[in-house]
Chains A and B, each alone.
Chain A
C-alpha cells in the first residue's frame, strides 16, 4: 500500500514522506528462490506509483510507466506476479518520474531471495542506507541506515561474540553518488548482491552506488562497542553512524577488548 505520511526523521524534523505500508524503508520482502510471488500494490496516495523489483521477471510486471501493468493511479490496485529469482539480496522501489523524488521521498525497500539451500544460521539484520532531503534542494540534510539518523548510537545493535552476524546491506541513497559501509575492529566477508555463496572480498569497507547491495558476514571475537558508519565522514556525522555492542554469549568464549 502506497500513501503519503509525515515521518519524524529526527527529533522535531518531520519529513513529508511517501511510503509503502506507512514505513521507510518499506517492508523487507523475503522469499526462497523459485517461490511464486504475488505482491499487491494499493495506491492510497495522490500520485501514481509503481513497484519496480530488481530481479528476473517479465516486462509486464516491471513496474515502469507505459509497459505492461504500467502506472498504478491513485485509488487503483495492481498485482505483481513473478518467480523469486535469482537468489541474492535485491531491492524494490517506485519507478515513476520524476524518479529522484519518488525514491527520495521513501518508496523503496529490501527484497531478499534466499537460496534453496539456506545460508548458515546467523544473527541477521537488514540495513537500508538512506537519506532525507528536508529542504527540497536535491541534497540530503540527514543520512542514516534504516531512516533514523544516529539511531544505533543511542541503542547499539546487540550482537554476541563468537556468533555469526549477517547484514543485508542495500544502498538507496538519492542525490549522492556513492555510499559506503565501514566497521571498526573487525573485517567481514563481502558477497556482492548476495548472488554467490563464495565471498568476493575480505574487507572492512565497501562502497556502493544507488541500487547496489550485498551481504556482509562477520564474527566479533572481542567484547565491547564497535562503530559502524559510512566512510564519507560527512554522511557519518550527519547521521549515518552507529554501534555494535558485542556481548558475551552463554556458550561462546569471550575475550575482553581492553
Chain B
C-alpha cells in the first residue's frame, strides 16, 4: 500500500475513479452504437413475435369487468378485440400497445351475473389470443372499505390465537427439561411445516403472475434476504449486553412467525377479495386452532427465565400483528410478484428461526435427533397438517 501510494503521489483518487468508470463508458457507447446500427450482423427474429400476456388483476364492477394485463414477452403487444364467453364485447383500453413488462387496464362492458363463470378472450393484432377465466364472478370489494373487516380478520386468525398459545407459558415452567427439549423439537416441526407451506404458496402465487418479473425465483430471493437479515439481527443482538438468550430466541421466533402470518393474511385477504373465500366461523376457528400452536413455539424458549408481561405482549404482537397487515395487502390485491417476495421472506425467516432453536432441542450429549426430538419434530408437522385441514 505504502509503495503504491508513493508511486502515484497526486490525483491517484481521481485516476482510480476514471479507471473504474472506463468500462462502463465503453459499454454505454457500444450499446448506443449497436442500437443505432440496429444490431449489425444479426438477423431479425425467426417467425412471428411471441406474445406473452398475463392477467394480473380482475376487477368486477356493476356491468363491467376490468383486467390489468401485463406483457411479459419480448415484443410489444397490441390488444385490439375482446370477447367474453365467445361473444365480442365493447371495451376500453388505457393504451392498446403494451410494451415489454408494461401493463394496461382493459375495461369491458358486460352484464355479468353474480356467481357465474366467464371466459374473457383478448385478441391481439397478430391474431393471438390470451384467455382469462373468471371461475366465480363476484363484485370486487373496494379495498378501502375492507380495512375494518380485514383488521378484524387478521386479529381473529393472527393475534388472538398466538396470544392464546402463549398461555402455555406457566405450564411450560413446571415441566421437566426433557419435556422442554421435546417441545422445542415440536416447535421445529411446526415451523418446518410453515416453511414448506409458505414456499409452496409463494410459488403458486408467483406462477400466477408474470414470469418475466421473476416467478418462483422471487420466493427464493425473499427467503435468502430474510435469512440474511435475521442472521444479522441475531448477531447484532447477541453482541448487545443485557439480552437474555431465551428472550432473544423468542423474539426471533416471533419475527419469523410474524413474517409467516403476513403471508397467511395475504392469502386470506386476496382470497376474500376475489370471492374465493367464504368468511365463516369454520374458517376462523380453523385458523385459530392452527395458529395457537404458533404461540407455543414463541414461549417455549423463555420457559426457563422471567419475562415481563409487557415483553410477552410485544412478542405476541410481533408474531400475530402482521396477519392484519397481510390481510389488508391481500385485499388490496397486491402484485403477484410482491406477494411472492413477501411469502419468500416468511420462508427464509422460518428457516433461520429453526436453526436458532435447534440448540435448545439438543439433549445432554448434544444430539438433536434423539428419539424424543425426532418424535417431537414429526408430531409438530403432523399437528400443523391436522389443524390445517380445518381451514
Contact A98 B117 (CB under 8 A): no
Does any Cβ of A come within 8 Å of B87's Cβ? yes
> Using an 8 Å CB-CB cutoff, how does the interface string of B116-143 with A read, 1 for contact, 0 for none?
1111000000000000000000000000
**Any B CB within 8 A of the CB of A135:** yes
B residues near A (Cβ < 8 Å) are 84-87, 89, 110-111, 113, 115-119
- Is B117 within 8 A of A137, CB to CB? yes
User: Which B residue's beta carbon lies closest to that of A99?
Assistant: B87
* A134-155 contact mask (Cβ, 8 Å, vs B): 1 or 0: 0111100000000000000000
Contact B86 A100 (CB under 8 A): yes
CB within 8 Å of B: which of A89-132? 97-101
Q: Give the distance in Å from the alpha carbon of A137 to the alpha carbon of B131 in the complex.
A: 14
Assembly CA distance A197 to B178 (angstroms):
98
Minimum Cβ distance to chain A for residue B134 (Å): 10
CB within 8 Å of B: which A1-60 residues? 16, 47
Q: How many A-B residue pairs have CB under 8 A?
A: 25
Is A98's CB under 8 angstroms from B116's CB? no
| Prevailing SS type, chain A contact patch | loop
Inter-chain CA distance A136–B136, complex, in Å, is: 10
In the complex the two chains form, what is the Cα distance from A98 to B89 in whole Å? 9
A138 and B86 contacting across the interface, CB-CB below 8 Å: yes
- In the complex, what residues of A have CB within 8 A of residue B110's CB? 98
Question: Judging by beta carbons under 8 Å apart, are B117 and A97 in contact?
Answer: no
B116 touches A136 (CB 8 A): yes
Whether A135 pairs with B87 at a CB distance below 8 angstroms is no
Of A47, A100, A135, the contact of B117 (CB 8 Å cutoff): A135
CB within 8 Å for A100 and B111 given contacts A136-B116, A136-B117, A137-B117: no
Point out the residues of chain B lying under 8 angstroms from A99, CB to CB: 87
Residues of A within 8 A of B118 (CB): 136
The closest CB in chain A to the CB of B136 belongs to: A136
Closest chain-B Cβ to A43's Cβ sits at a distance in Å of 14
- Determine how close the nearest CB of chain B comes to the CB of A229; give it in whole angstroms: 28
Residues of A within 8 A of B87 (CB): 97-100
Q: Of all chain A residues, which has the CB nearest B83?
A: A98
Q: How far is the CA of A234 from the CA of B116 in the complex (A)?
A: 25
Asked whether, in the complex, the Cβ of A101 is within 8 Å of the Cβ of B117, the reply is no
Expressed in whole angstroms, the minimum distance between the Cβ of A105 and any Cβ of chain B is: 9
Find chain A residues with CB under 8 A from B86 CB: 100, 138
- State A16–B113 Cα separation when bound (angstroms): 10
Chain A min CB distance to B180 (Å): 53
| Contact yes or no, B85 A47, CB < 8 A | no
Instruction: Report how far A138 CA is from B89 CA in the complex, Å.
Output: 17
- Chain B residue numbers with a CB within 8 Å of A138 are 85-86, 119
The smallest C-beta distance from A141 to any residue of chain B, in angstroms, reads 13
Contact check: which of B85, B115, B116 meets A100 at CB < 8 Å? Answer: B85
Q: Are B116 and A47 in contact (CB under 8 A)?
A: no
8 A-B pairs within 8 Å (CB atoms) are namely A16-B115, A97-B89, A98-B110, A101-B85, A101-B113, A136-B116, A137-B117, A138-B85
Q: Can you name the residue of chain B whose Cβ is closest to the Cβ of A4?
A: B113
| Nearest CB of chain A from residue B378's CB, rounded to whole Å | 41
A137-B117, A138-B119 known; 7 other A-B pairs, CB under 8 Å? A97-B89, A98-B85, A98-B110, A98-B111, A101-B113, A136-B117, A138-B86
Interface string of A215-247 (1 = CB under 8 A from B): 000000000000000000000000000000000
* A14 to B86 alpha-carbon distance, docked (Å): 25
* A99 to B113 alpha-carbon distance, docked (Å): 14
Find chain A residues with CB under 8 A from B84 CB. Answer: 98
- Residues in A neighbouring B116, C-beta threshold 8 A: 136
Q: Which residues of A contact B119 (CB under 8 A)?
A: 138
Residue of B nearest to A175 (CB): B86
CB of A7 to closest CB in B, whole Å: 15
Complex formed: what's the CA distance from A97 to B89 in Å?
Answer: 9
Q: Give the shortest distance, in Å, between A9 (CB) and chain B (any CB).
A: 16
